[in-house]
């Protein structure tokens, strides 16, 4: 006899709190950098819960963990999940929430005596944050075939430790070949990490895709000179070039509008003295758009503007690409499915793109994929003060349950 | 029997080199911060030369040193001089050149058997640079009555040492009351420390005055947020405010033209990460003009622009005045006198204001004052690579000689 499966909110909160105690840091946050002892402890805790729930756990060669709940039929599972590694001063919900909510869906199905047609799989992927080893979203990227095991193993942290060795050391270099479990569909539940849902007063976001990201570093070489004795027309001011670049980026986002965002987050001058014209400036430009053609346009316009201002100033500028990802557009039917379920739960869901990267964007290479967002208070994330209200966490998990249920029964 | 007095260039260069060996640092520069052991050693060397030349040396209570060559009449001397302290990585000519050239003028008069009508005085003033104790131009400021001895003695360096104690320690707290020697006229020979003479192909600058200086520090408080997930309209980007301020300052100097210069030499962001909108920015604005009304206008326009951009960004901004000096205009007859002598020496002198501060601007409070500039290669100063060609050093000293001779015989 089956009943209607429902999320056990109390249990979800208790597990989030228990996982947050692993690698806990002052202020309520977590430090579980990928493949550290703290990451191992977090993994052991979650794998223990998976096994205790009777799920079949597989660890692959990059350390991704898959917990499968059998369905009436064999074949590809419906997959959900996220990551449990954190940045150095991370919050307790980023990633962890999606994984533990997936386990709560399994518990709810168990409690309701429900066996789905297709298997259900709850996954957590290795090194999503990229805070210790680059690139980020590494486990899901390897799973999707976008990065070889050899390349991933060769990544080193700042103290020279190899990722492959660290994976072995913490006991999570599994035997399964990456990509073996190819799901029918993938759904990731995650906190928004931005202020949009909160500002709009919505509880559920139906994520339409992930913004493309373009990261570049610029180094400007001018000429140090006395701020009093050097006429304006004889200056080669590296600091001015940096300032003009930052104001251009802001103007560009206004001119392009839409989803285009742009940020100069790093800016440093040398010698950085009040009465000396800077001979050196280093700054970064972070450009994002949901549309690849527009993102390319933003890059080209920014590069041209910076070259032009540097040339006019008689300063040299060097550009280095730090990261570049094309936008990802999620499957339209999957996004509509999330919206439909959210409405059935009484929500007024909001379509929005993700401004941050997620494992779902790698899984979208393999299968129809969607993401569900819940609000982040004041948009704060990668911060110990990251917070989402308990009711919102429960609402997101409840939507996830019905989204997965429908996919698993289809 | 008198002959025509002439500067002994070889001797001038030898003394500049000998003084540069005191506190010598790599690259050919000097570190003789005010009232350090190195400053004492430099002072002892120069005072030794003064005494060896038969000059009457007086040290006043702030450590200014005056060496008087008697004239046919008593009464106020014609004074020349500058300073011999340096910044931490200073050059060998800044200040030292004017003092040692003054001593060469005395030697030339001696060699020519010439006794002038009025006494001639060669001075060096304490702590012109202000690199260890603030304010800068301290010795000449005290001499001119602009700062009390008590205030000057109370100045402390970064390790908490009091200027009064350090002056006593190195044996240069003299007995003479500051301001006792009130000259008939003051002439300071100095390297330009800027690129204007070199660019114009001129050897001698007739300095019209000293720019007024306005130094302010701004601290902007915005909100740290994710560069990907935060829509442009929800940002409070402290880094953008700093960048917009720096581009405004540049635009202002173009709009105002003339002698107006403006520099943002310090700019720092926090957290200074590529994908985080800065919640904190600190920057400085250095504005200078030869006209006080225009300098005030530049300040007001800059303050208003920064307040306006911060308000539009939803960021708070705090402003702190770090320094403010009104412009100084040198005596027109004195400037014309320098020009006339320079032309008589076959030069095509250039009128220009000084962008840097000098002891002469304090002495201008007491008597008709002028400055003579010689070129600085590529405008470099406060740098171990500071350089002026030997022929230019000799040309400047020769002009100084005749400028002083005419004043001392008048």
Q: Averaged in consecutive runs of 10 residues, what is the pLDDT profile of chain B (410 residues)?
A: 90 98 94 97 98 98 98 97 94 97 98 97 97 94 97 95 98 97 98 96 98 96 92 96 98 97 97 92 97 98 98 98 93 98 98 95 97 96 92 98 98
Q: The tokens of B348 are what?
A: 């095509």
In total, chain B counts a number of residues equal to 410
Residues facing residue B88 across a β-bridge: none
Q: Which residue of A has its CA nearest to B242?
A: A243
Distance between CA atoms of B28 and B17, rounded to whole angstroms? Answer: 10
Distance between CA atoms of A30 and A42, rounded to whole angstroms? Answer: 11
Q: With contact defined as beta carbons under 8 Å apart, do B211 and B259 qualify?
A: yes
Backbone φ, ψ for residue A106 (5° rounding)? -60, -45
Collapsed DSSP state (helix, strand, coil) of residue A138? helix
Please identify which residue in the block is written with the tokens 């729930």.
A53
Are the Cβ atoms of B286 and A227 closer than 8 angstroms? yes
- Give the nearest partner residue to B263 out of A196, A227, A356, using CB atoms: A227
Whether A337 has a binding-site annotation, put simply, is: no
**What DSSP state is assigned to residue B77?**
P
Mean pLDDT throughout A237-248? 98
| Average confidence score pLDDT of chain A | 96
Distance between CA atoms of B94 and A158, rounded to whole angstroms? Answer: 45
Model pLDDT for residues A397-409, shown as the tens digit of each residue: 999 999 999 999 9
Q: The tokens of A352 are what?
A: 């929005």
Whether A11 has a binding-site annotation, put simply, is: no
Per-residue model confidence (pLDDT) at position A1: 61
Q: pLDDT tier at A47 (50, 70, 90 boundaries)?
A: very high
Distance between CA atoms of A397 and B322, rounded to whole angstroms? Answer: 56
Distance between CA atoms of A99 and A140, rounded to whole angstroms? Answer: 14
Which residues, 6 or more positions from A372, have their beta carbon under 8 angstroms from its beta carbon? A187, A188, A189, A190, A204, A205, A206, A207, A338, A342, A396, A399, A400, A403
Are the Cβ atoms of A226 and B355 closer than 8 angstroms? yes
Please give the interface size between A and B, counted as residue pairs whose CB atoms are below 8 Å apart. 214
Are the Cβ atoms of B192 and A225 closer than 8 angstroms? no
Distance between CA atoms of A39 and A44, rounded to whole angstroms? Answer: 9
Model pLDDT for residues A296-319, shown as the tens digit of each residue: 999 999 999 999 999 999 999 999
pLDDT at A227 over 70: yes
Q: Which residue of B has its CA nearest to A278?
A: B265
Model pLDDT for residues A53-77, shown as the tens digit of each residue: 999 999 999 999 999 999 999 999 9
Q: pLDDT tier at A2 (50, 70, 90 boundaries)?
A: confident
Q: With contact defined as beta carbons under 8 Å apart, do B349 and B406 qualify?
A: no
Model pLDDT for residues A108-135, shown as the tens digit of each residue: 999 999 999 999 999 999 999 998 998 9
Q: With contact defined as beta carbons under 8 Å apart, do B284 and B270 qualify?
A: no
Per-residue model confidence (pLDDT) at position B168: 98
Q: pLDDT tier at A106 (50, 70, 90 boundaries)?
A: very high
Nearest Cα residue to B218 out of B267, B180, B261 = B267
Distance between CA atoms of A112 and A171, rounded to whole angstroms? Answer: 35
- Give the nearest partner residue to B244 out of A247, A263, A357, using CB atoms: A247
Max CA distance (Å), chain A:
89
* Architecture of the structural domain at B9-211+327-409: 3-Layer(aba) Sandwich (3.40)
Model pLDDT for residues B152-173, shown as the tens digit of each residue: 999 999 899 999 999 999 999 9
Q: pLDDT tier at A323 (50, 70, 90 boundaries)?
A: confident
- Give the nearest partner residue to A265 out of B193, B196, B273, using CB atoms: B273
Residues of B in contact with A262 (CB under 8 A): 232
- Give the nearest partner residue to B381 out of A226, A277, A322, using CB atoms: A226
Among A267, A373, A374, A385, the strongest candidate for a mutation testing the B interface, having the largest count of B CBs within 10 A, is: A267
Distance between first and last Cα of chain B: 20
Pick the CATH number of A212-325 from 3.30.70.360, 3.40.50.2000, 3.30.70.260, 3.40.1020.10: 3.30.70.360
Collapsed DSSP state (helix, strand, coil) of residue B80? strand
Please state, for a pLDDT cut of 70, what percent of chain A lies above it: 100
Distance between first and last Cα of chain A: 20
CB atoms within 10 A of CB B337: 21
Residues of B in contact with A234 (CB under 8 A): 195-196, 199, 379
Q: Which residue of B has its CA nearest to A245?
A: B243
Per-residue model confidence (pLDDT) at position B2: 75
Q: What are the boundaries of each domain within chain A?
A: 9-211+327-409, 212-325
Radius of gyration of chain A (CA): 23
Are the Cβ atoms of A267 and B243 closer than 8 angstroms? yes
Please identify which residue in the block is written with the tokens 């050391």.
A169
């Amino acid at each position: 006899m089956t009943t209607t499966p429902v999320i056990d909110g109390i249990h979800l909160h208790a597990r989030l709190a228990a996982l947050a105690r692993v690698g806990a840091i002052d202020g309520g946050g977590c430090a579980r950098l990928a493949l550290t002892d703290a990451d191992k402890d977090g993994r052991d805790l979650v794998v223990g819960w998976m096994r205790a729930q009777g799920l079949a756990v597989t660890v692959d060669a990059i350390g991704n963990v898959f917990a499968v709940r059998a369905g009436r039929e064999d074949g590809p599972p419906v997959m959900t999940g996220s990551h449990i590694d954190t940045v150095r001063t991370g919050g307790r919900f980023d990633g962890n929430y999606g994984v533990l909510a997936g386990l709560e869906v399994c518990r709810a199905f168990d409690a309701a005596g429900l066996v789905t047609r297709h298997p259900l799989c709850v996954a957590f992927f290795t090194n999503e944050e990229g805070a210790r080893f680059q690139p980020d979203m590494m486990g899901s990227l390897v799973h999707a075939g976008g990065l070889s095991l050899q390349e991933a193993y060769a990544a080193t942290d700042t103290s020279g430790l190899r990722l492959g060795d660290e994976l072995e050391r913490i006991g999570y270099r599994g035997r399964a070949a990456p990509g073996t479990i190819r799901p029918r569909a993938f759904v990731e539940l995650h906190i928004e990490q931005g202020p949009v849902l909160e500002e709009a007063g919505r509880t559920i976001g139906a994520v339409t895709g992930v913004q493309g990201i373009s990261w570049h570093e610029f180094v400007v070489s001018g000429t140090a000179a006395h701020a009093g004795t050097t006429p304006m027309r004889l200056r080669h001011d590296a600091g001015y070039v940096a300032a003009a670049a930052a104001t251009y980026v802001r103007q560009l986002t206004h001119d392009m509008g839409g989803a285009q965002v742009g940020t100069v987050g790093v800016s440093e001058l040398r010698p950085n003295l009040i009465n000396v014209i800077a001979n050196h400036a280093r700054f970064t430009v972070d450009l994002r758009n949901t549309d690849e053609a527009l993102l390319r346009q933003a890059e080209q316009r920014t590069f041209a503007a910076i070259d032009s201002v540097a040339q006019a100033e008689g300063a040299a500028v060097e550009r280095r690409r730090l990261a570049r990802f094309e936008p990802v557009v999620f499957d339209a039917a999957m996004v509509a499915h999330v919206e439909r379920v959210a409405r059935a739960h009484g929500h007024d869901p909001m379509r929005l793109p993700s401004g941050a990267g997620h494992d779902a964007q790698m899984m979208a290479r393999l299968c129809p994929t969607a993401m569900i967002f819940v609000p982040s208070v004041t948009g704060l994330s990668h911060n110990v003060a990251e917070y989402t209200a308990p009711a919102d966490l429960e609402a997101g998990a409840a939507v996830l349950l019905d989204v997965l249920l429908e996919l698993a029964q289809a």
